[in-house]
Amino acid sequence: MSFRNRLRFEHRLAALVGLLCLALVGATVGGAIWLERRSALRLAEDRLARLADGMAGSLDTTLRERFREIQVVAGLAPLRERWTTDPAATRGILTAMRTTAPDYAWLGFVAPDGRVRAGTEGMLEGVAVSGRTWFEIGLTRPNVGDVHEAVLLSRLLVRAEPEPLRLVDLAAPVRDAGGAVIGVLGGHLSWDWASRVRRRLLDEGRPGTDLWVLDRNGRVILGPRLGAEPFGPARLGAMTEAGRGVFAAEIAGETRLAGFASAATGERSGVAGGDPGLGWIVVATLPEAQALAPVQPSLRALLGLGAAVALLGIALAWSLGRRAAAPLRQLTAALDRIGPDADATSLPRLDGAREFGALSAALHALLRRIGTAERELSDATLRSTSVAASYRRQIEDLRQVAGTDMLTGLRNRRGFVKPAAEAFAQARGGRCGVAVLVVDVDHFKRVNDRYGHDAGDAVIRHVGTLLAEAVRGTDTVARFGGEEFVVLLVGLDGAEAAQIAERLCVKVRAAEIAHGGRIVAVTVSIGVATVSVRDPDIQAAIARADAALYDAKARGRDRVGIAVAREEAGRAA
């Protein structure tokens, strides 16, 4: 009976200490694994969110530029007489627009009766398009239609792409001086540009990543399985309400991480004269297994270390149990001898202090091991914090790069937003005048065609340098894309801004740009506008400067067009 009780006590003590070791090791290793997995998933989700946001931004930027271009050209006063006179002259205007933006599959001017008066390359001229949604809405207001397959143009255009031609329709009413509608300026934007942006982003991204563009009903309009609906109404509604974010879901039989961003929303677009409001959602996905693949070796190493420490703890617990039970075994043996051996009348003197001292030393050793494990956990936490700080610094660096134009080193559209908002606040508060210059290199396509795209890049860099050197340190120069620059002048009125614009024209005209042993000479046209206290935002002034730029180009280029101040326009009205 006493022998069984001794084994039971010894095993219970060993099991208690062993479980304590397993709990500590499990908590340490499990916590480290959880942190490693969480960090990897967070990093992958951030990358997917940035990828989706980048695709959404590209869609928004292109649609915003084309939508604004259709409205500006339709509203140019110098072109009012040309729309209804010579179709050849109208065709020349349309061809110039398509040269500037080659993604247009077709541009045309349609009379109010619905018959095409002029089209690029003469396509669809004389064809009746009455009843088409873009034309009917375009008679009353500017509009952008959703993606659809081409009907009339599919038989006229030869394409290298195997997929059917898909288009985005843009239209704006053309009015005479009295405000009456004299026709509709329509454009069919080829959806191929969105496919090119998707391929480029996927080539730059992580293997296994995919990009989808969904319409407002959740159908895939760009990506694999066109027309499919990968998400249910609840998920689609949540994405639409949130605007952007991340989630994990079961897609096509596997768990995938996803980052999403809404495209063409009212908050994002900022289009003068109306918002496309197509409700597209861009979703970037990556299998969770691939997101965790880089940290799998670390996770396996942590599991192996945990198993080794657990075995060591179990062995230590067994040893402690046996040593703790040794005095009891000795005492039990002595008691067993008392009965049969008459001479054995006393119990042996046990040096309990030494045994308990050994037990205390063993416990201290165990605590030291626990402290070591805790320090290792603390070090792992500090390392994880350091890695997180490094990720935050890298993200901040990426944000800085995202606001800089890679070709010229100037600010891009994203980088222009903050100084423009600050300058607009100063102008609205009446603290100083603010002017905007929209600068465009004349006949830039000819430079590319004649000297090559490397020469075109050299021209863009040189013009950007000239602009940056010609303005003050308090001013902002940004490249908005292609050959278009925007200059923000703080503390100047319209007359001073016009003088600076004239000097910039002269400076660029006099510059000699050397490239490949040749001298490339270019000129620029500049539109000037001042910020008015009646402007809702800086985009209103940019739109006026843009219209003045088109006026300068219509008057022969290499000159400055000055937009009428909003207050003067109001008084004239």
567 shares a domain with 419: yes
C-alpha closest to that of 264 among 202, 214, 199: 214
DSSP codes, 261-313: EE-S-HHHH--TT-------EEEEEEEHHHHHGGGHHHHHHHHHHHHHHHHHH
396 shares a domain with 337: yes
The pLDDT value given to residue 15:
77
The pLDDT value given to residue 336:
67
What values do phi and psi take at 367, rounded to 5? Answer: -65, -40
- Residues belonging to the chain: 573
DSSP codes, 383-438: HHHHHHHHHHHHHHHHHHHHTB-TTTSSB-HHHHHHHHHHHHHHHHTTSS-EEEEE
Instruction: Average the pLDDT over 255-272 and give the result.
Output: 65
In a domain, residue 518? The reply is yes
* pLDDT above 60 (res 398): no
The pLDDT value given to residue 33:
81
The pLDDT value given to residue 365:
63
478, 412 in Cβ contact below 8 A?
yes
Most confident of 60-64, 334-338, 370-374: 60-64
384 shares a domain with 302: yes
Percent of the chain at pLDDT above 90?
32
pLDDT in tens, 83-111: 888 888 889 889 998 998 898 989 999 99
* pLDDT above 50 (res 129): yes
419 shares a domain with 369: no
The pLDDT value given to residue 351:
54
Residue with tokens 């002595």: 334
385 shares a domain with 437: no
In a domain, residue 482? The reply is yes
Beta strands in 64-111 (DSSP E): 104-110
Comparing 58-72, 124-138, 384-398, 468-482, which segment has the lowest mean pLDDT? 384-398
The secondary structure of residue 346, as a DSSP letter, is S
Q: Which two tokens stand for residue 435?
A: 């002017």
495 shares a domain with 432: yes
pLDDT in tens, 473-492: 889 999 988 899 999 999 88
Q: Which two tokens stand for residue 7?
A: 């084994």
Q: Which domain covers residue 516, as residue numbers?
A: 413-572
404, 456 in Cβ contact below 8 A?
no
493 shares a domain with 471: yes
pLDDT in tens, 271-309: 444 445 678 999 999 898 888 888 778 777 877 887 887
117, 183 in Cβ contact below 8 A?
yes
Q: Which two tokens stand for residue 272?
A: 């003068």
In a domain, residue 468? The reply is yes
Specify the long-range contacts of residues 394-398, CB closer than 8 Å, at least 24 apart.
395/46, 398/50
547 shares a domain with 424: yes
Residue with tokens 């349309």: 94
421 shares a domain with 392: no
In a domain, residue 37? The reply is yes
pLDDT in tens, 321-365: 667 666 656 666 665 666 566 555 555 555 554 555 554 555 456
3-state secondary structure (DSSP) of residue 561? strand
The pLDDT value given to residue 337:
66
Question: How many Å apart are CA 212 and CA 84, to the nearest integer?
Answer: 42
464 shares a domain with 346: no
pLDDT in tens, 505-557: 999 999 888 888 888 889 999 999 999 888 899 999 999 999 999 999 999 99
Q: Which of 402, 428, 460 is the last residue of a domain?
A: 402
The pLDDT value given to residue 496:
92
The pLDDT value given to residue 530:
92
Q: Which residues contact 567 (CB under 8 A, 6 or more apart)?
A: 532, 534
What values do phi and psi take at 491, rounded to 5? Answer: 85, 15
Q: Which of 368, 402, 436 is the last residue of a domain?
A: 402
Between 5 and 216, residue with greater pLDDT: 216
Q: Return the amino acid letter for 142.
A: P
User: Cα separations (Å) of 8 from 1, 2, 5, 22?
Assistant: 11, 10, 5, 21
The pLDDT value given to residue 140:
94
Q: Taking the model in full, what pTM does it have?
A: 0.50
Residue with tokens 């465009």: 440
Mean pLDDT of the chain: 82
The secondary structure of residue 519, as a DSSP letter, is E
Comparing 255-259, 294-298, 450-454, which segment has the lowest mean pLDDT? 294-298
The pLDDT value given to residue 269:
38
C-alpha closest to that of 74 among 140, 166, 167, 148: 140
Percent of the chain at pLDDT above 70?
80
In a domain, residue 470? The reply is yes
405, 460 in Cβ contact below 8 A?
no
- For residue 306, list its beta bridge partners: none
User: Cα separations (Å) of 220 from 193, 230, 252?
Assistant: 16, 8, 14
3-state secondary structure (DSSP) of residue 477? strand
3-state secondary structure (DSSP) of residue 501? helix
Element (H, E) at 283: strand 281-287
In a domain, residue 552? The reply is yes
Pairing of strands 524-530, 560-562: parallel
- Residue 564: which CATH number? 3.30.70.270
Q: Which of 337, 369, 402 is the last residue of a domain?
A: 402
The pLDDT value given to residue 305:
81
* pLDDT above 50 (res 396): yes
Dihedral sign of CA atoms 422, 426, 427, 428 in order: positive
Between 511 and 5, residue with greater pLDDT: 511
In a domain, residue 95? The reply is no
* pLDDT above 60 (res 257): yes
In a domain, residue 527? The reply is yes
Secondary structure of the chain: what % helix, strand, coil (to 5)? 55, 20, 25
417 shares a domain with 375: no
The count of structural domains within the chain is 2
Pairing of strands 244-251, 484-490: unpaired
Instruction: Average the pLDDT over 237-253 and give the result.
Output: 87
420 shares a domain with 365: no
